[in-house]
Amino acid sequence: MSVDARLASAPRSDPAAVPRAKILLVDDQPLNIQVLYQAFAADHELCMATSGAQALQVCANQQPDLILLDIEMPGMDGFEVCRRLKADPASRDIPVIFVTAHIGDEAQMRGLDLGAVDFISKPINVKIVRARVNIHLTLKAQADLLRRWAYIDGLTGVHNRRYFDERLTREWDRAVRSNSPLSVLMLDVDFFKRYNDHYDHYGHQAGDDCLRRVANALENGLKRPADLLARYGGEEFVCLLPDTDLSGAQQVADELGARVTGLQIEHADSTVAAFVSLSVGVCCKPAGVQGSAVELLGQADAQLYLAKQRGRKQSCAAQMLG
């Protein structure tokens, strides 16, 4: 997919819009869904499902912040739905509140063992449901914030390697399932050690500032919400580009390199440019090609090494072979 096509398919967001928590309502009885809908529609974004299988599909596609889940449903009951949600890394942190007409000790113990956070009894008391949902949404927001802090690089403010590794695994699995391309860019600041060592003009504080400016330029150069930039270590960064073929990834690599050069950060000890520049390695897993995420990353790193061998301030690209 070319960059133009990638931009055309990117979702547009309203900067003035205030995000609302998304709640998934799951019940095989439309009347029960209607009651819950009326309780939460004014303050939250709602999505609905009338079966366990549909709930899993909606959850995978829309990633709700909380799930109100009926236990007694034909086919797949709420307990099985909860078990599957908690077994999936993409959904295991979503709080599940069971809604049921029969709350016995055995059912509660089973639900809590499966990972549910609360139980609500039918018939539904709207005030109680709203109070409990707000409590668990607040707790989830706090937990999400802590997780985000754990995934952020302290120097540059972009994501760290730990977060990248987790996202790479998820995106690889998704690309294999959907038979779609996935590209990785490895980016290295040219002669950054020389930049730091040239203390007469710069010093290490200037080096930190340089990395922050480079990271900001790279992050602002990514156009789609699904694209990811992370600091990989030292002066190395990495980009993950889902649904992007080799030509699209090469174009992104060239644009990011131009953005960094355009910062015009003086680099008196560089032998390739008067300003700080990038070398970039690109690798793409085409649709239908097997292999592993580790291989994809390793081949991108090999292309980065080739770009350095060829003189730096350039990108080299390759496609994984089946």
Residue-wise pLDDT tens digits, 185-197: 999 999 999 998 8
pLDDT attached to residue 199: 55
Domain boundaries, the chain: 3-150, 161-319
Contact indicator for 167, 161 with CB cutoff of 8 Å: no
User: Can you name the residues that pair with 70 across neighbouring β-strands?
Assistant: 99
In contact, 44 and 22? CB cutoff 8 Å: yes
Report DSSP state, residue 173. Answer: H
CB atoms within 10 A of CB 240: 25
pLDDT value, residue 4? 42
* Pair of tokens at residue 189: 């600041």
Model pTM above 0.75 = no
Give the CATH class of 161-319: alpha beta
Kindly report the CA angle at 46 between 126 and 111, in degrees rounded to 5? 65
pLDDT tens per residue across span 99-108: 988 778 888 9
We find that the CATH architecture of domain 3-150 is 3-Layer(aba) Sandwich (3.40)
- DSSP bridge pairs for 283: 184, 318
Q: Which tens digits make up the pLDDT trace of 84-134?
A: 999 998 899 999 999 988 778 888 999 999 999 999 988 889 999 999 999
The residue length of the chain stands at 322
**190 alpha carbon, distance to own chain's centre:** 28
